[in-house]
Structure formats: C-alpha cells, structure tokens
Amino acid sequence: MGTTAKRLVEVSERFQLLLFPLSQTEKTSIAHLDHAEHHRSTFWLLAFQACSLGATNFLWALSSIASSPLLSSSLSLTALRNASLLPLQRTLLILPALLLGYWLPAALMSLPSPGVVSNAFQQWAIVAWNLYPLLVYALFRVFAAVVSVASEKRTDAPPAASTRGGHLKAVRLVSGVAILVGFILHITVLTLAISSSLFPALFNPSHASLLSLSSLFLPPLSIAQGKTIGDGVRGFMLWDQLAGYAVMLLVAVLELRTVVKARKWETNWMKSLGFVVFGYLLIRPGSTYLAIRWAGDEDLFEEGKDKKGVVMGKVK
C-alpha cells in the first residue's frame, strides 16, 4: 500500500473515532427539545449514558406518554398549541451548550496521543465527554442567566413570552442543525462503506468487513461467538440502538397522530411508514425522529393549511 493510501486510511480511522459521540447529537437534541419546559433532559441523558439506550428509552417513552401534551388526545387544538410552545431564546441556547459541552469534548478525545496531546489529556477529555449531560446543562444555565441579565438591562427588550413564530424558529434551527450533523456523518460512513467495497486494498480487511453495507443498516443476526470482547460489545450496542430508536420513532408517530386528530385531518399511514423507512436509511433514525417532530410542529402551528399539512395531512 502506498504512502498516500496509508495516510488516507489513518485519517479515515481517526475520523471514525468521532462518529459515535457525534452521532448521538440527535439523541441529545431530542432530549432537550422534548423536555425544555420540564427540565428533565439532564436526567434522561444521564440515564442514557449510564445505562443502555434500549433499556432506558422504554422508560423515557412511558414518561413522554404520561406527560407530553403532544400525546394527549383530550386537548383542543388551541390548548395543544399553548401547551407545546417553547421559548425562542432559551431553546436556541441548546446549540452553544451542545457545541462547548458535547462536540468540543468529543473532538478533543479523538486527538491522537501521545503525538498531539498527552495520554492524561486524552483521558480527561474522555471523562469530560462521558459527563456531557452535566456539562451541557451547566453551560445552558449559565448562558440562560447571561441572556436574562442582558435582557433586563435593555429598556426596549420585548416580552419573554413564547410565541408561535418563536417556537417554530427555535425548532427549525435546533432540529435543522442536528439533522444536518447526523446526515453528514451518515453520508460519510456510507461513502466509506462504498469505498471499502470498490477499493478493498485501501482498507484493513477487518475494517472492510465492518463497513459492509449490510452491517450499516442491520445489526448482527447470527448468535455467533465473538472472537474478542469488542465483538460482543459492538453487537450489543447495535441491537441496543435499534431497540431504543424504534421506541423513539413509535413515540414520534403517536405525537404526529395527536396533531393530525387535533387538526381533523386524514392521513395515509402507509405513506407515513414509507417516510420513516426512507428516513432511517437516508438520515438515520434519530434524525428521522427530529424530522417527524419538526413536521408535526409545522402542521400544529402554521396557519392557512386548508387542504394539506406538512406530513401527509388532509382536511376531512
């Protein structure tokens, strides 16, 4: 293998160290958007981090079903809108908090050691990333306090009450950024997988097998004894994420169903299922959840949609 090819492989392998932490961006955004008003996002993210995603997501789903206004069939359209409003400024603060408390530690822990950073620095970066729910929450509270003080000093500051326009702006920006990050990572991995099939000589044989197209979309189906502990951990994590995100998508569909009923629309649910499957393949399940929630918010708050909603909605 030539020097250029080796360098390409080294860069791609180093980039892969960023994929798992950054691929959790959607999950972190989901937790903060869903619980921005209830201040439970840190609790759920700590639970996701300390336990398996699949095990804790069932508890998260039960909590959402019990408390989320988007899963209440007894609310009128106006009441559903008022109960779902998010404040614009506080919601937008999720992005800088994620940047410094989540993405920055992920980037730092991927730096090579001892070449660029010391082993001790890398270990502390790993510790910081594993504590990201606390870091993100602390940064979010600090940013919120700074914005609050700055607003109080402005005599012409507008009222802080949530509005429909502000809610949609916040959801569009936070969801859009999270979906974009997830899409870029997914396309990057997909490109590596296709490259490993077309140019196998550029990749380590073990890496090429892990990057096969089937392994990207399906967890291991055979119950074969792994050669290393890492094989078992990887298989568990794949099944864990499949179960966890399946529950998330189920909750998203139920929330969309509530919006459709409140707007008195009919929906082609087979078409909706096709959208979910297409999103799973193209932009990952976490991004698909955010896209469904985003579309549901557009349907819920936008006015003047007499014939058709954003997601397969139609007036009866």
Q: What is the pLDDT of residue 117?
A: 86
Give the structural domain span for 234: 3-315
Contacts of residue 196, Cβ cutoff 8 Å, sequence gap at least 6: 202, 203, 207, 208, 211, 212
Q: Categorise residue 219: left if φ over 0, alpha if ψ from -120 to 50, beta otherwise.
A: beta
Torsion of CA 38, 42, 47, 50, to 10 degrees: 180
Q: What is the pLDDT of residue 42?
A: 62
In terms of C-beta distances under 8 Å and separation of at least 24 residues, what long-range contacts does 67-70 make, across chains too?
Answer: 67/38, 68/34, 68/255, 70/255, 70/258, 70/259, 70/296
Q: For residues 170 and 61, what is the distance between their CA atoms, to the nearest angstrom? A: 23
User: Which pair of structure tokens corresponds to residue 167?
Assistant: 């809610």
Q: For residues 252 and 289, what is the distance between their CA atoms, to the nearest angstrom? A: 6
Q: What is the pLDDT of residue 25?
A: 59
pTM above 0.75, yes or no: no
- The SS3 assignment for 212 reads coil
Number of domains the chain is built from: 1
pLDDT, one tens digit for every residue, the chain (316 residues): 444 444 444 444 444 444 445 555 555 666 556 655 445 666 666 666 666 666 777 777 777 777 777 777 778 888 888 877 877 777 788 888 888 988 888 888 888 878 788 888 888 988 888 888 888 888 888 988 888 887 766 655 454 456 778 888 888 888 888 888 878 877 887 888 788 778 877 777 766 666 777 766 676 666 666 677 766 777 777 777 778 888 888 888 888 888 888 888 877 777 778 888 887 777 777 788 888 888 888 888 876 554 455 454 444 4
Q: What is the pLDDT of residue 75?
A: 80
Q: What is the pLDDT of residue 15?
A: 43
Confirm if 275 and 230 have CB atoms less than 8 A apart. Answer: no
Q: What is the pLDDT of residue 308?
A: 52
Contacts of residue 28, Cβ cutoff 8 Å, sequence gap at least 6: 45, 98, 102, 132, 136, 178
Q: What is the pLDDT of residue 17?
A: 43
| Burial of 278 (C-beta count, 10 Å sphere; 0-12/13-18/19+) | exposed
C-alpha to C-alpha distances, 225 to 210, 216, 230, 237, nearest whole angstrom: 16, 20, 12, 16
